[in-house]
Amino acid sequence: MNDQNSVDHSPGQVPVFAVVGHPNRGKSSVVATLSQNDRIAIALEPGTTRVSQPYPLNVDGRTLYTLVDTPGFQRPRRVLEWLQAHSLSASDRPETVAAFVHQHRDNPRFRDECELLTPIIEGAGIIYVVDGSVPYTAEQEAEMTILRWTGQPSLALINRIGPDDHTATWQSALGQFFQIVRIFDAVRAPFEQHLGLLKAFGQLRPDWEQPLQEATGYLTRQRQDRQWQSARLIAEALAEMLTHQESSTLPKSLAANPDRTLEDGLREKWYQSQRDREEKLRRDIETLYQHHCIARQEAALAWHHDHDLFSEETRQAWGVSRTYLATAGFGAGAVGGAGIDALTLGHSLGTGALIGGLLGAAGSYFYGDRLAVRMLTPKALKGAGELQTATFGPVQDLQFGYIVLGRAVDHWWHISQRNHAGRDPLALPPSDHHWLETLAGDTRKTLQRLLVRLRKQSRLNHRETQEFSTVVHSALGGYDQWRRENAS
């Protein structure tokens, strides 16, 4: 949604904010969060940003505001000395700052200062960023004095990066230079703080008040729309995963004595298809929220070996144990027995042969603690003569649906809350919350009814598809509320 070519620097139309400060104090992190752009380079080494770069925030093709990421101050005391030597009175200070930029634009000693001051003398408001974990020094006082000389609306953010806390000292110093001082953690600040900054800036300049009020409204609606879009994406993926099958054909002569490798091959294709579809859902949600560079750490769907996500222990960790589903208003049909992943070979008589020696009509077979997969009786291909069809899937154990949904809800919540300045890997361990408890009784029954229809390979009609999205949306909202109420 961001388009750097659509920047409008005209004061009074699209507000422009220059994010400035000392090197390595979190300027780029603030820009990344407020512009919803995780592609902005953020590094520990000073000098990562060498030229001023505009980053507009666009919603529905409209630029709400533009943030300009700038280099850090390098020689603020030298610049201030020049300004003081060339200024005759307080009335000419903005013009003196502009004169410095024009005179030293090609001077490599003051390249960074000229880069960061250029958008300000062209009309941008100032967001001055400091690191509250380092002590206040006279070096920063020279920076703040220069910025005050520009005469532009200004706001200071204390973005504490390290473990030490010098916030109180910074607040006292910054209050003498800036109209508004806020504590703002660019990595962890909640969405409401983003809106608060926009509203605060609207108070600093009359012609920004209306566009920034509109911006907060647009962003609020965008957030609501994204939650609904996420619900639709999750419902669509879950429906596909619950009804997915893998099939293969083989000569009738081989169907009588099939090789075990056929079953193994179809089973693995089915497993991999489920993993791929869930991974696509993860990427779709991340793209929706404009997260393009996330390093995600999540256990892939697994049915066997050392990390079986469908073991009873894992089901308990995800809050969908058999006991819970049987007693929480989801109905007996929510509790599938342990199941078999099985292959059938179909022919025109309508019976099925299960590789491994089990014979029987189409149905569901269960043993051990393995995933339940429906035993279909496929029909011979029309005109195929001697060809038979072998089918693996779809899944019959509805706990599969609840676990996949729980994983999706948890992933959505982390993405929806993640600021674009975050660069830490996203770890998604099993949830320790019965997230289904956030659903009302009628919603639980609706969810169960729709999952049962999907298990029977019934396509959802338009009304049921809408119902499914609404139920998932309720799950997202309930989980978000629970996380907020239980935040440490």
Listing from the earlier edge strand, what are the strands of the sheet with 359-360?
Answer: 246-251, 387-392, 343-346, 352-354, 359-360
CA angle (322, 327, 333) in 5-degree steps: 60
Q: Does position 166 have pLDDT exceeding 90, yes or no? A: yes
Mark 402-416 as b/e (b = at least 16 C-beta within 10 Å).
bbbbbbbbbbbbbbb
What is the CATH architecture assignment of 4-204? 3-Layer(aba) Sandwich (3.40)
Q: What's the predicted TM-score (pTM) here? A: 0.84
**pLDDT tens per residue across span 401-447:** 888 998 999 999 999 999 999 989 998 877 666 677 788 888 988 99
Q: Which of 140, 131, 120, 137 is nearest to 29 (CA)?
A: 131
Percent of the chain with pLDDT over 70: 75
| 107-158 pLDDT per residue, tens | 999 999 999 999 999 999 999 999 999 999 878 999 999 999 999 999 999 9
Closest by CA to 267, choosing from 385, 395, 141, 128, is 395
pLDDT at 359: 23
Look at residue 366 in the predicted model and tell me its pLDDT.
Answer: 30
103: pLDDT strictly greater than 50: yes
Report whether pLDDT(339) > 70: no
Question: Which conformational region is residue 308 in: left (phi greater than 0), alpha (psi within -120 to 50 degrees), or beta?
Answer: beta
pLDDT-derived band at 326 (thresholds 50, 70, 90) equals low
Residue 354 pLDDT exceeds 50 = no
Model pLDDT for residues 271-323, shown as the tens digit of each residue = 899 999 999 999 999 999 999 999 998 877 776 655 556 666 666 665 566 66
In Å, the largest CA–CA distance within the chain is 102
- Single out the residue of 455, 330, 310, 457 nearest to residue 396, CA to CA: 455
* Average model confidence (pLDDT) across the chain: 80
Where does the pLDDT of residue 399 fall: very low under 50, low under 70, confident under 90, or very high at 90 and above?
confident
Mean pLDDT value across residues 149-177: 95
- Delimit the domains of the chain by residue range: 4-204, 226-336+394-485
- The one-letter amino acid at 421: A
Least confident of 28-32, 181-185, 350-354: 350-354
76 and 142 Cβ atoms separated by less than 8 Å: yes
